[in-house]
Each structure stands twice: as structure tokens, then as C-alpha cells.
Amino acid sequence: MKDDLGDDVALPRPPRRVVSLVPSLTEAVAVTVPGILVGATDYCTHPADLDVVRVGGSKYPKVDAMLDCAPDLVVGNAEENRPEDVRRLREAGIAVWVTEAPATVPMALESLRTLFTHAFDVEVPAWLTKADRAFRDPAPVRTRAVVPVWRKPWVVLGRDTFGGDVLRRLGVHNVYADHADRYPRPDVAELRARFADGEADLLVLPDEPYVFTDDDGPDHFPGIPYVLVSGRRLTWYGPSLADARGELDAALSRVRTR
């Protein structure tokens, strides 16, 4: 078998012990193949009752802790995990399946469909089919937005991001969608200018990876309409995506101004 990057993954049988290095993949595996996870990162918060060995962060996992879990398979992501950690695991004889950083909802769902039907040899999960139906038809553009995902420094969604495509399908045009970078770092003056020039009319603030709140984020944009949305619903691709459209639509209707 080959993973999203085209690398060979030697699995003589479906894995029975899995370590996940990505929160969204952790949730997807736990829900789809219950009881198979033996390790996950410190940031894997779903399912809430997940009881496995914690192996550190996505960027700097504890490779020795993963090896101690004796996994049949480690699942990771090309954007979130470092190639040197993947290489060390493979050199130790551990199979590693690396998913590509998806630029669209269909790309994410196809990646997961391949992972489950090929690596795990299970049927396409119901939540994946539901998510596919929910996001299949993009809505007409209803607003133009700036979407920060970090502060200190400011980082926003740019081109070819999963979260940007989720918003596009909800009718939200990301004004940085054509930027050369996937995650541009404009200063706050440039961000304010987007609104002053009429290019943007809404500030979309997720609660992860940076936890934006009514008191942290909107205060830098006085008078600018904003909404707070779930970062998990916006950026995780897995079971959370099945009900994300309704929740995000509701959040986008709760426009506020400081």
C-alpha cells in the first residue's frame, strides 16, 4: 500500500495497535475502529474519554514513547509532523501512514476514505458519507472575511487550506485565498486596511489553534463585525465534520461588534 505521499506502507494485516500524531485523525480512528489506538498526542482531545499513552506534541513527539507502545501503525500528517520523526520510526521498523495536508473538503474525505478502506480494511464510515453530503454543494458567497488562526504574530488562512474551503462552501469568501502563502502573516494594520478598503466585511475567529474570544481578538478591530466559531468544526477533518455545517452556519449568523 502507499500513503498520500506515495510512500510504501508495509502492513501484512490490518493494524491492531495504532499511534496517532494528529488530533483529527485520532478522533477519526477512535470512532471508526474503536479500541485500536494505543497512543496519541497531548493535544488529542477527542473522544473526551480517550485513555491511551500520550506521546507529546505533533511537532515534537516523543519517538521513544511511541516505540514503547509497540504500534503496528503510526498515522501522521505531512504538515503537522516532521519528516525526521517519520524517518526515525520507519528506520525502527514501524509502518507509518502520512496523510497529505488537504486543500479542500473532498481531498480530506478521500484521504480518510483511502486510509480506512486500505490500511484498516473497514467499510467507509457513516460519518464520512454524511460529511460528504453536507459539504458537497457550495453556497453562494454571502460575506467576505479575514480568518486569523493565530496572534502574536497574526497568522491568517491563505491559499489552499482546508478551513478556507470549509468556509467557501458555507458562502464565506476568504480575502487571502489568492495569497502566495497558505498561512500569511500580515500585521494588524494591513488586516484593518482590508476592512477600511471594503475588501472584507467580516472577521472570523476560531477558538483553535489560538483561542480567540470576545475579549481577545475583536478588541484589535473596533467597529468590525466578527463571529466566533469552533476551530474543531472548521479545521478538523473527521467525525466532527459530519455536523459541522449546521454548527458553523449558526455561528456565522451570530455577528457581533466591539
Amino acid 226: pLDDT:
98
Q: Please tell me the predicted confidence (pLDDT) of residue 197.
A: 96
Cα distance between residue 50 and residue 92, in whole Å: 26
On whether the pTM is more than 0.85, the answer is: yes
Distance CA 156, CA 203 (A): 11
Helix (H) or strand (E) holding 73: strand 73-77
Q: What is the dihedral of CA 8, 118, 235, 72, to 10 degrees?
A: -60
**Topology of domain 18-124, CATH:** Rossmann fold (3.40.50)
Read off the C-alpha cell for 218.
475583536
Give me the pLDDT at residue 174, please: 98
Q: Which residues pair with 206 in a beta bridge?
A: 229
pLDDT at 55: 97
Residue 45 confidence (pLDDT): 95
For domain 134-257, the CATH class is alpha beta
The radius of gyration computed from the CA coordinates of the chain, to the nearest angstrom, equals: 19
In this structure, what are the phi and psi dihedrals at residue 98, rounded to the nearest 5 degrees?
Answer: -105, 125
CB 41 within 8 A of CB 19: no
Q: So what's the pLDDT on residue 60? A: 93
**b/e per residue 7-23 (b: at least 16 CB within 10 A):** eebebeeebeebbbbbb
Domain ranges (residues) in the chain: 18-124, 134-257
Same fold, 18-124 and 134-257: yes
pLDDT digits over 205-230, tens only?
Answer: 999 999 999 999 999 999 999 999 99
Instruction: Walk along the chain (258 residues) in steps of 10 and give the mean pLDDT of each run.
Output: 95 96 97 97 95 95 96 96 96 97 96 97 97 96 98 97 98 98 97 97 97 97 97 95 96 96
